[in-house]
């Protein structure tokens, strides 16, 4: 008996044959061991192909696509906080650089407060007290470092460093508060 | 019109919902990457092409026709993207499909042989072996096997994708299976 062409077997597996052809192939497979073996091999191959080996895609794909499609823009809160912190830093820097040594701003504020008796005078007086207090604290701190470590840093540098740290803290707090407000 | 799961996501994406796009990407990432990787056989290129695919899908989503299945539309875009790349880099792909590259050598390098020989390989290992063999057949057969078994397309859909007559598609897939069967028989994997 003549063996089946392999394409016939594949068409049989794919159920692509007519009912008559299907019956012929089925009958042939019962009596022909060689064709039956080939058929079994194709069946095994088919079952493996129907279970595609999945490959794990690198996680960078999803992240990179999202970043390219939706670039992260700075939020309003961070921009506001950055401007506020920058402004504070600038004012502090100017004050410390130009006026820290002779303390003229504090003196001017105290003079203005002395000549003003209303509410504004009290506010100015309060500000001058704060400035004066801060100035004194930095001077003490400078003296303390000088005594302990025998290093002369200078009240200006200490003052500036402290203000930078405070600005950064202020920036974070401000940003957090704005975020909280926006989410509410 | 009743929308399927994918189409609901697309509707949301078109309304500006980003997380729906992320969900859609998660769903298709494995299949698309798997198909592309098996076509180009180079991870870096596969990653780039998969990214390009998702960006393209997002950019042309407004053109999607809800009368058709999303997966078929997406697979067609994916196929065209990969084929364009393959055509541009024909030399590289040809060298990989060269008959001189022995399939056995490539498989041996992956250390598939167990102590007991191939006949006792576990089902999972057999599956790995078969798909590794698929990776080694020439591109003109491999692409059709991938479209048929990885993307689950019918013969007429594959013919539509590739522009080949249905008869040619069938013959090539049969030929591919013949090559695979012969190789697996040679290695005694069926016994």
Q: Is the CA virtual torsion B143, B148, B153, B154 positive or negative?
A: positive
A58: helix, coil or strand?
A: coil
What is d(CA B42, CA B158) in angstroms, rounded to the nearest whole number? 24
What is d(CA B126, CA B134) in angstroms, rounded to the nearest whole number? 12
Is A1 within a domain? no
The H or E element spanning position A2 is none
Size of interface A-B (CB pairs under 8 A): 82
pLDDT above 70: residue A40: yes
Under 8 Å between Cβ of B110 and B135:
no
Is A178 within a domain? yes
Number of domains in chain A: 2
Instruction: Please write down the HEC assignment for all residues of chain B.
Output: CCCCHHHHHHHHHHCCCHHHHHHHHHHHHHHHHHHHHHHHCCHHHHHHHHHHHHHHHHHHHHHCCCCCCHHHHHHHHHHHHHHHHHHHCHHHHHHHHCCCCCHHHHHHHCCCCCCCCHHHCCHHHHHHHHHHHHHHCCHHHHHHHHHHHHCCCCHHHHHHHHCCCHHHHHHHHHHHHHHHHHHHHHCCCCC
Per-block mean pLDDT, blocks of 10 residues, chain B (191 long):
84 88 91 89 90 93 88 90 85 47 41 41 75 87 90 88 90 91 80 62
pTM reported for the whole predicted model: 0.60
**Chain A residues interacting with chain B (CB cutoff of 8 angstroms):** 6-7, 10, 16, 38, 40-42, 44-46, 48-58, 60-62, 64-66, 68-70
The rounded Cα B99 to chain-centroid distance in angstroms is: 21
b/e code A73-83 from CB counts within 10 Å (16+ = b): eeeebeeebee
Q: What's the pLDDT tens digit per position in A74-125?
A: 666 667 777 777 777 777 666 666 665 566 666 676 677 677 667 777 777 7
Domain ranges of chain B: 1-89, 98-191
Is A67 within a domain? no
Residues 106-145 of B with CB under 8 A from A: 126-128, 130-131, 134, 145
- Which fold would CATH assign to domain B98-191? Arc Repressor Mutant, subunit A (1.10.10)
Residues A108 and A157 in one domain: yes
- Chain A residues whose beta carbon lies within 8 Å of the beta carbon of residue B47: 57-58, 60-61
Quickly list DSSP for A99-132: HTTT-HHHHHHHHHHHH--SHHHHHHHHHHHHHH
Cα B30-B33-B74 angle, rounded to 5 deg = 85
Q: Report CB contact under 8 Å: A50, B149.
A: yes
Q: What's the pLDDT tens digit per position in A144-154?
A: 888 888 888 77
Q: What confidence score (pLDDT) does residue B110 get?
A: 43
**Among the listed residues A56, A43, A133, A91, the one whose alpha carbon sits nearest the alpha carbon of residue B181:** A43
Is A113 within a domain? yes
Residues A43 and A129 in one domain: no
Q: What confidence score (pLDDT) does residue A101 get?
A: 58
> Predicted confidence band at A136 (pLDDT cuts at 50, 70, 90)?
confident
Q: What confidence score (pLDDT) does residue B33 get?
A: 92
User: Which range (A32-36, A83-87, A139-143, B101-105) has the least confidence?
Assistant: B101-105
What domain range is A103 assigned to? 72-183
ipTM: 0.72
Is A42 within a domain? yes
Under 8 Å between Cβ of A85 and A168:
yes
Residues A88 and A149 in one domain: yes
Q: Report CB contact under 8 Å: B130, A40.
A: no
Is A122 within a domain? yes
**Among the listed residues B105, B135, B35, B173, the one whose alpha carbon sits nearest the alpha carbon of residue A42:** B173
- Asked if CATH classification 3.30.565.10 holds for the domain at B1-89, the reply, yes or no, is no
Angle between helices A6-13 and A19-31 (to 10 degrees): 120
Residues A126 and A45 in one domain: no
What is d(CA A50, CA B54) in angstroms, rounded to the nearest whole number? 26
Is A58 within a domain? no
Q: What's the pLDDT tens digit per position in A41-78?
A: 888 888 888 887 778 888 889 888 988 888 776 666 66
Distances in Å between the Cα of B125 and the Cα atoms of A47, A69, B114, B190 are 14, 39, 9, 13
Residues A84 and A155 in one domain: yes
Q: Report CB contact under 8 Å: B180, A50.
A: no
């Amino acid at each position: 008996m003549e063996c089946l062409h392999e394409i016939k077997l594949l068409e049989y597996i794919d159920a692509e044959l007519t009912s008559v052809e299907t019956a012929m192939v089925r009958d042939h497979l019962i009596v022909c061991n060689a064709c039956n073996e080939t058929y079994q091999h194709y069946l095994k191959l088919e079952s493996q192909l129907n279970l595609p080996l999945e490959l794990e895609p690198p996680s960078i794909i999803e992240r990179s696509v999202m970043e390219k499609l939706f670039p992260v823009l700075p939020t309003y809160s961070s921009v506001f906080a950055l401007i506020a912190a920058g402004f504070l830093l600038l004012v502090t820097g100017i004050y410390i650089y130009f006026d820290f040594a002779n303390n003229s701003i504090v003196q001017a504020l105290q003079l203005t407060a002395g000549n003003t008796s209303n509410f504004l005078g009290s506010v100015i007086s309060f500000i001058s007290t704060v400035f004066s207090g801060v100035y004194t604290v930095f001077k003490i701190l400078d003296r303390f470092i000088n005594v302990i470590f025998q290093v002369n840093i200078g009240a200006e540098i200490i003052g500036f460093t402290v203000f930078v740290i405070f600005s950064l803290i202020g920036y974070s707090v401000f940003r957090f508060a704005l975020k909280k407000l926006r989410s509410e | 019109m009743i929308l399927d799961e994918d189409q609901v996501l697309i509707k949301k994406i078109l309304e500006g919902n980003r997380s729906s796009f992320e969900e859609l990407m998660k769903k298709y990432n494995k299949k698309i990457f798997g198909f592309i990787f098996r076509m180009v056989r180079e991870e870096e290129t596969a990653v780039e092409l998969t990214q390009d695919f998702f960006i393209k899908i997002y950019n042309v989503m407004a053109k999607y026709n809800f009368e058709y299945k999303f997966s078929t539309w997406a697979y067609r875009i994916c196929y065209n993207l990969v084929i364009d790349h393959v055509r541009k880099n024909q030399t590289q792909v040809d060298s990989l499909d060269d008959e001189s590259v022995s399939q056995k050598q490539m498989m041996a390098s992956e250390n598939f042989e167990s102590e007991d020989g191939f006949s006792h390989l576990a089902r999972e290992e057999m599956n790995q072996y078969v798909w590794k063999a698929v990776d080694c057949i020439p591109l003109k057969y491999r692409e059709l096997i991938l479209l048929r078994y990885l993307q689950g397309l019918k013969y007429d859909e594959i013919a539509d994708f590739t522009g080949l007559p249905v008869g040619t598609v069938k013959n090539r897939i049969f030929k591919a299976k013949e090559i695979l069967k012969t190789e697996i028989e040679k290695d005694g994997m069926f016994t």
